Amino acid sequence: GTLLEQAKAAVTVASASADEARADVKKAEAQADFDAANLKRYEEMFKGGAITQQDMDRASSAARISAATLETAKKKVASAEAKVTQAEAAVKGAEEGLREAKSQQAEAEADVGRSRAREKGAQSAPERVGVNEAEVRVAGAEVERAKAALRTAELALSYTHVKAPRAGRVTGKSV
Protein backbone atom coordinates (compact mmCIF):
# COMPACT_ATOMS: atom_id res chain seq x y z
CA GLY A 1 0.00 0.00 0.00
CA THR A 2 0.88 3.64 0.12
CA LEU A 3 3.08 5.21 2.74
CA LEU A 4 -0.01 6.76 4.35
CA GLU A 5 -1.80 3.40 4.51
CA GLN A 6 1.28 1.79 6.04
CA ALA A 7 1.55 4.56 8.63
CA LYS A 8 -2.13 4.20 9.56
CA ALA A 9 -1.68 0.44 9.89
CA ALA A 10 1.32 1.05 12.17
CA VAL A 11 -0.89 3.28 14.38
CA THR A 12 -3.47 0.48 14.59
CA VAL A 13 -0.83 -2.10 15.51
CA ALA A 14 0.82 0.21 18.05
CA SER A 15 -2.55 1.08 19.60
CA ALA A 16 -3.41 -2.60 19.91
CA SER A 17 -0.03 -3.26 21.56
CA ALA A 18 -0.62 -0.37 23.97
CA ASP A 19 -4.06 -1.75 24.85
CA GLU A 20 -2.54 -5.17 25.45
CA ALA A 21 0.18 -3.62 27.65
CA ARG A 22 -2.45 -1.74 29.68
CA ALA A 23 -4.33 -5.01 30.21
CA ASP A 24 -1.07 -6.62 31.36
CA VAL A 25 -0.63 -3.78 33.89
CA LYS A 26 -4.10 -4.44 35.32
CA LYS A 27 -3.32 -8.13 35.58
CA ALA A 28 0.07 -7.39 37.20
CA GLU A 29 -1.56 -4.92 39.62
CA ALA A 30 -4.10 -7.53 40.68
CA GLN A 31 -1.34 -10.11 41.18
CA ALA A 32 0.85 -7.61 43.05
CA ASP A 33 -2.07 -6.64 45.34
CA PHE A 34 -2.83 -10.31 45.98
CA ASP A 35 0.81 -11.16 46.72
CA ALA A 36 1.23 -8.08 48.97
CA ALA A 37 -1.89 -9.03 50.96
CA ASN A 38 -0.70 -12.64 51.09
CA LEU A 39 2.71 -11.50 52.39
CA LYS A 40 1.02 -9.58 55.23
CA ARG A 41 -0.96 -12.68 56.24
CA TYR A 42 2.19 -14.82 56.07
CA GLU A 43 4.10 -12.29 58.18
CA GLU A 44 1.42 -12.54 60.90
CA MET A 45 1.44 -16.33 60.70
CA PHE A 46 5.27 -16.39 60.74
CA LYS A 47 5.29 -14.20 63.87
CA GLY A 48 2.89 -16.64 65.49
CA GLY A 49 5.03 -19.57 64.42
CA ALA A 50 2.29 -21.04 62.24
CA ILE A 51 4.49 -21.21 59.07
CA THR A 52 8.08 -21.97 58.30
CA GLN A 53 10.78 -19.58 57.13
CA GLN A 54 10.61 -21.27 53.74
CA ASP A 55 6.87 -20.43 53.43
CA MET A 56 7.67 -16.87 54.49
CA ASP A 57 10.48 -16.61 51.90
CA ARG A 58 8.17 -17.93 49.17
CA ALA A 59 5.50 -15.31 50.01
CA SER A 60 8.11 -12.55 50.13
CA SER A 61 9.62 -13.68 46.84
CA ALA A 62 6.18 -13.85 45.18
CA ALA A 63 5.43 -10.29 46.36
CA ARG A 64 8.75 -8.97 44.98
CA ILE A 65 8.32 -10.82 41.68
CA SER A 66 4.78 -9.50 41.19
CA ALA A 67 5.94 -5.95 42.07
CA ALA A 68 8.76 -6.23 39.50
CA THR A 69 6.33 -7.68 36.94
CA LEU A 70 4.05 -4.69 37.55
CA GLU A 71 6.93 -2.23 36.98
CA THR A 72 7.92 -4.05 33.78
CA ALA A 73 4.30 -3.97 32.57
CA LYS A 74 4.13 -0.21 33.24
CA LYS A 75 7.34 0.33 31.25
CA LYS A 76 5.87 -1.69 28.38
CA VAL A 77 2.82 0.59 28.44
CA ALA A 78 5.07 3.66 28.24
CA SER A 79 7.02 2.10 25.38
CA ALA A 80 3.83 1.09 23.53
CA GLU A 81 2.37 4.58 23.96
CA ALA A 82 5.60 6.07 22.60
CA LYS A 83 5.26 3.81 19.55
CA VAL A 84 1.67 5.01 19.09
CA THR A 85 2.88 8.62 19.21
CA GLN A 86 5.65 7.81 16.75
CA ALA A 87 3.23 6.05 14.40
CA GLU A 88 0.80 9.00 14.61
CA ALA A 89 3.65 11.34 13.74
CA ALA A 90 4.44 9.13 10.75
CA VAL A 91 0.79 9.42 9.65
CA LYS A 92 0.98 13.21 9.90
CA GLY A 93 4.23 13.17 7.94
CA ALA A 94 2.71 10.94 5.28
CA GLU A 95 -0.38 13.17 5.06
CA GLU A 96 1.84 16.25 4.69
CA GLY A 97 3.86 14.43 2.04
CA LEU A 98 0.65 13.53 0.24
CA ARG A 99 -0.58 17.14 0.36
CA GLU A 100 2.78 18.33 -0.98
CA ALA A 101 2.72 15.72 -3.74
CA LYS A 102 -0.83 16.73 -4.73
CA SER A 103 0.24 20.38 -4.78
CA GLN A 104 3.21 19.54 -6.99
CA GLN A 105 0.96 17.45 -9.24
CA ALA A 106 -1.50 20.35 -9.62
CA GLU A 107 1.37 22.69 -10.42
CA ALA A 108 2.77 20.25 -12.97
CA GLU A 109 -0.68 19.82 -14.55
CA ALA A 110 -1.00 23.62 -14.79
CA ASP A 111 2.44 23.75 -16.44
CA VAL A 112 1.34 21.08 -18.92
CA GLY A 113 -1.82 23.07 -19.68
CA ARG A 114 0.18 26.23 -20.29
CA SER A 115 2.63 24.31 -22.47
CA ARG A 116 -0.22 22.81 -24.50
CA ALA A 117 -1.72 26.27 -24.98
CA ARG A 118 1.64 27.60 -26.18
CA GLU A 119 1.98 24.59 -28.48
CA LYS A 120 -1.47 25.26 -30.00
CA GLY A 121 -0.51 28.89 -30.48
CA ALA A 122 2.72 27.83 -32.14
CA GLN A 123 0.87 25.37 -34.35
CA SER A 124 -1.63 28.03 -35.46
CA ALA A 125 1.11 30.60 -36.09
CA PRO A 126 1.79 29.32 -39.64
CA GLU A 127 -1.96 29.60 -40.37
CA ARG A 128 -1.97 33.18 -39.07
CA VAL A 129 1.14 33.90 -41.14
CA GLY A 130 -0.63 32.41 -44.16
CA VAL A 131 -3.67 34.65 -43.52
CA ASN A 132 -1.41 37.67 -43.14
CA GLU A 133 0.47 36.80 -46.33
CA ALA A 134 -2.83 36.53 -48.21
CA GLU A 135 -3.91 39.93 -46.88
CA VAL A 136 -0.58 41.41 -48.02
CA ARG A 137 -1.05 39.91 -51.51
CA VAL A 138 -4.60 41.30 -51.70
CA ALA A 139 -3.39 44.73 -50.59
CA GLY A 140 -0.54 44.55 -53.14
CA ALA A 141 -3.00 43.68 -55.88
CA GLU A 142 -5.19 46.66 -54.89
CA VAL A 143 -2.12 48.94 -55.06
CA GLU A 144 -1.28 47.60 -58.53
CA ARG A 145 -4.92 48.10 -59.65
CA ALA A 146 -4.80 51.69 -58.34
CA LYS A 147 -1.51 52.31 -60.21
CA ALA A 148 -3.02 50.89 -63.39
CA ALA A 149 -6.07 53.14 -62.96
CA LEU A 150 -3.72 56.13 -62.48
CA ARG A 151 -1.79 55.27 -65.66
CA THR A 152 -5.07 54.89 -67.54
CA ALA A 153 -6.24 58.29 -66.27
CA GLU A 154 -2.88 59.89 -67.18
CA LEU A 155 -3.09 58.36 -70.66
CA ALA A 156 -6.64 59.61 -71.08
CA LEU A 157 -5.50 63.05 -69.94
CA SER A 158 -2.69 63.03 -72.50
CA TYR A 159 -5.27 62.46 -75.26
CA THR A 160 -7.29 65.41 -74.11
CA HIS A 161 -6.76 68.70 -75.97
CA VAL A 162 -8.93 71.67 -75.54
CA LYS A 163 -9.33 73.51 -78.86
CA ALA A 164 -11.25 76.61 -79.49
CA PRO A 165 -13.23 76.79 -82.69
CA ARG A 166 -11.66 80.18 -83.41
CA ALA A 167 -8.58 81.92 -82.29
CA GLY A 168 -9.04 84.74 -79.86
CA ARG A 169 -9.73 85.60 -76.32
CA VAL A 170 -12.42 84.45 -74.07
CA THR A 171 -14.28 87.47 -72.79
CA GLY A 172 -17.22 85.90 -71.20
CA LYS A 173 -17.87 82.54 -69.92
CA SER A 174 -21.23 80.94 -69.38
CA VAL A 175 -21.58 78.03 -67.18
Q: What is the pLDDT of residues 33-56, one digit of tens each?
A: 999 999 999 999 999 999 999 999
Give the C-alpha distances (Å, rounded to integers) separating 147 from 117, 123, 144, 157. Answer: 44, 37, 5, 15
Q: Across residues 5-29, what is the average pLDDT?
A: 95
Q: Looking at residue 22, what is its pLDDT?
A: 96
Angle at which helices 53-158 and 3-47 cross, to 10°: 170
Which of 101-105, 107-111, 116-120, 124-128 is the least confident region? Answer: 124-128
Query: Considering the entire predicted model, what is its pTM?
Result: 0.58
Q: Looking at residue 55, what is its pLDDT?
A: 96
Q: Which of 38, 31, 108, 95 is nearest to 67 (CA)?
A: 31
Q: Looking at residue 71, what is its pLDDT?
A: 97
Reported as a single tens digit per residue, the pLDDT across 84-93 is 999 999 999 9
Reported as a single tens digit per residue, the pLDDT across 152-175 is 766 766 666 555 566 666 566 666
Q: Are 104 and 59 in contact (CB under 8 A)?
A: no
pLDDT of 27 above 90? yes
Per-residue b or e along 134-170, where b marks 16 or more CB atoms closer than 10 Å to that residue's CB? eeeeeeeeeeeeeeeeeeeeeeeeeeeeeeeeeeeee
Main-chain dihedrals φ then ψ at residue 86, nearest 5 degrees: -65, -45
Main-chain dihedrals φ then ψ at residue 160, nearest 5 degrees: -90, 125
- DSSP state, 165? S
pLDDT of 115 above 90? no
- What is the largest distance, in Å, between two alpha-carbon atoms of the chain? 179
